[in-house]
Chains A and B, each alone.
Chain A
Amino acid sequence: MNLSNHIPILIIAIPLLAAFLVPLIGRINKKATGILTTLALSVSLILTIALAVKILTVGPQVYVFGATSPSLTLPSGLKFPIRIIFEVDAMSIFMGLITAIVSFLGAIYSLAFMKNDSGLEKYYSLLLLLTVGMFGMVFTGDMFNFFVFLEISSIASVALISFRGTDLGEPAEAGFKYMVVSSISALLVLFAVGIFYGQYDVLNIAAIASVMKYSQLDKIALGLLVPVLAMKAGAVPMHMWTPDAYSEAPAPITMILVVASQASLYALFRVVFSLYNISLNALTVGWIIIIFGLLSMFIGVTMAIIQKDIKRLMAYHAISQTGYMLLGVGVGLAVLANPAALQKYGITAMEGGIFHIMNHAMYKGLLFLTAGALFFSTGTRDLNKMGGLAHYMKYTTIFFIIGAAAIAGLPPFNGFASKLLIYESVYRFNPLLSIIAMVVSILTLASFVKVFHSAFLGPKLPQFKEVKEVPRSMIFAMAALSCIIIFFGLFPDLIVKNLVHPAVMSLIEQLQYTGTVLGGM
């Protein structure tokens, strides 16, 4: 038995096993739960990196459940795949890497951040389940399996958002909103899966894509899937759950929730590019996604400026940054049917959008963690009550500056690299879109200058005399994210060439995706 063929399932199986071990261990020793979680997620991280190296050198990997060999997609001469299949290509592993890094750092940060809470074994168990759900959503090659993992991640994240709901009302309120939104979206995804199954008798994404007729029913399914997945990703005008859920969840969970939203965004791109690709009316759907992106960018940032709660402000910025990804990829989709324009600026626009997913996960995660550090030390999230904290929390101040500069797109941080790719290429598609994107970037900077000024600058305040720097595990998580941000900012070419470009090409080239499962039929 060659273990390296089984890596895709091990990445999911190890956290899943740990998720059910943690409550048992918690009976014996409460402290051990966090350490076990961190260990399981670090194994997942190492395996994900190993799988990424394999995929980027050899090509897409498939894992077939229950087959005699993991790569046997079509047993005994069948024309279509009947088993559940994981299909991990460059785009999936790109999202997988983000998931692995963020969940690992989230677990480390939780070690100190959550140490005063009760019910920790449940917290870590849910955190592991949320990670499993996200890995599953990005790895799976099966529509129904996607629905199952979507529900796993939503149920775990609702329980985590309302984790402090036993003591406070607001987390429960946010959790209720998120639960209703995510169960409706999951059910409509299931309805679309039913439409596909009724027509083509298969559930495998590659198999559906290869027989896609783009009939009236397929248009209905597309009309269900696009808004629903955009809603789960937090795009305006379906964003009402985002600020509540992001601001009420504990800080490490908020960081992971950002990636969970992006897993839905990944699913949206997978549906339009791998499932429909050229058969849909690319210009119309592309413009719909661009308009979602524009609305998210602009409304997100204008709502952020007026916020007083630091995490709520950052949550609106998360909506606004999602807009950049939708804009970049939307432009790529709009010119999909036009090979000349696609070569000239479409691919660059998509590279910008996809690169922005990873950058956003890193700097927004860092910013949410600094907000968590402020809350941990001062006990408040209200910006009007903070002030002069740079005197007491030197490391947190530095990390906040790095995160804020990255989100505002200042060089040499990673936000600049992906935003520049988007500006350049979108300008050649439609100059107005690029100008709006730049204005939003300036407003973002303005809003973070305000946060920096009101939280960190100013004289020492008497009520914060006891405030100390946060514990080491929280510093470590923030420092690791800062290093990644600076590394990506200094060497963007390296990342774009080796990680982002293969991811974009695996989205655009539908035949490569279907061929991996169907063997070049």
Chain B
Amino acid sequence: MIGNLPYVAVVIFIGLGIYTLMFKKNLIKIAIGVVLIENGVNLFLITLGYRKEAIAPIYTQAPSGQAMVLPTPQALTLTSIVIGIATTALILSVAMMIYKHYGTLDTDQVRRLKG
């Protein structure tokens, strides 16, 4: 039923993320842009493992003959989500340190390093 809809959502997520990174000037919004791309990639992975009318891949409890979704992409996505949390936390904490020293989150004013 859903067809290629998840892939369209992936494109929208990643597109919005790249737009945010390129055109927004607030450090927190840049962090949001990174998270958007991450969600897009996670959705892409999970969609790859989708099979029509399949059940959760628990081998011992599956009725025989029933198709199961692929377990590997789910394991990949889980790992990627955990890594994503670490990345997001680190970006936000660095943004906090920047705010403490510069008193602003505007990228035009956080520009002591140049040339």
A194's contact among B41, B91, B101, B110, by CB below 8 Å, is which? B41
Interface size classification for chain B: 20 to 34
| Contact A194 B113, CB 8 Å, known A158-B94, A165-B97 | no
- Residue B52 at the chain A interface, CB threshold 8 Å: no
B97's contact among A162, A183, A193, A198, by CB below 8 Å, is which? A162
Q: What's the minimum C-beta distance from A149 to chain B, rounded to whole angstroms?
A: 11
B70-115 contacts to A (CB < 8 Å): 72-73, 76, 79-80, 83, 86-87, 90-91, 94-95, 97-98, 101-102, 110, 112-113, 115
- Residue B69 at the chain A interface, CB threshold 8 Å: no
Q: Mark B36-80, 1 if CB is under 8 A from A, else 0.
A: 011001001100100000000000000000000000110010011
Q: What's the minimum C-beta distance from B103 to chain A, rounded to whole angstroms?
A: 10
Nearest-CB residue, chain B, relative to A243: B113
B94 near A144 with CB under 8 A, answer: no
Interface size classification for chain A: 35 or more
- Residue A184 at the chain B interface, CB threshold 8 Å: yes
B21 near A179 with CB under 8 A, answer: no
A159-186 contacts to B (CB < 8 Å): 159, 162, 165-166, 168-170, 172-176, 179-180, 183-184, 186
| Contact A172 B73, CB 8 Å, known A184-B34, A307-B115 | no
A180's contact among B72, B91, B102, by CB below 8 Å, is which? B91
A194 near B115 with CB under 8 A, answer: no
B91 near A176 with CB under 8 A, answer: yes
When distances are taken between beta carbons in the complex, the residues of chain A under 8 Å from B38 are 183, 187
Number of residue pairs A-B, CB distance < 8 angstroms: 93
When distances are taken between beta carbons in the complex, the residues of chain B under 8 Å from A173 are 98, 102, 110, 112-113
- Residue A197 at the chain B interface, CB threshold 8 Å: yes
- Residue A248 at the chain B interface, CB threshold 8 Å: yes
Q: What's the minimum C-beta distance from B63 to chain A, rounded to whole angstroms?
A: 24
When distances are taken between beta carbons in the complex, the residues of chain A under 8 Å from B80 are 147, 190
When distances are taken between beta carbons in the complex, the residues of chain A under 8 Å from B41 are 187, 190-191, 194
8 smallest beta-carbon distances between A and B, as pairs: A169-B101, A172-B97, A198-B48, A244-B113, A165-B97, A176-B94, A151-B83, A172-B98
Chain B positions near chain A (C-beta within 8 angstroms): 14, 21, 27, 30, 34, 37-38, 41, 44-45, 48, 72-73, 76, 79-80, 83, 86-87, 90-91, 94-95, 97-98, 101-102, 110, 112-113, 115
List, sorted by A's number, 11 A–B pairs whose CB atoms are closer than 8 Å. Answer: A144-B76, A151-B87, A172-B94, A173-B113, A176-B94, A179-B91, A180-B91, A193-B76, A194-B44, A194-B76, A244-B113
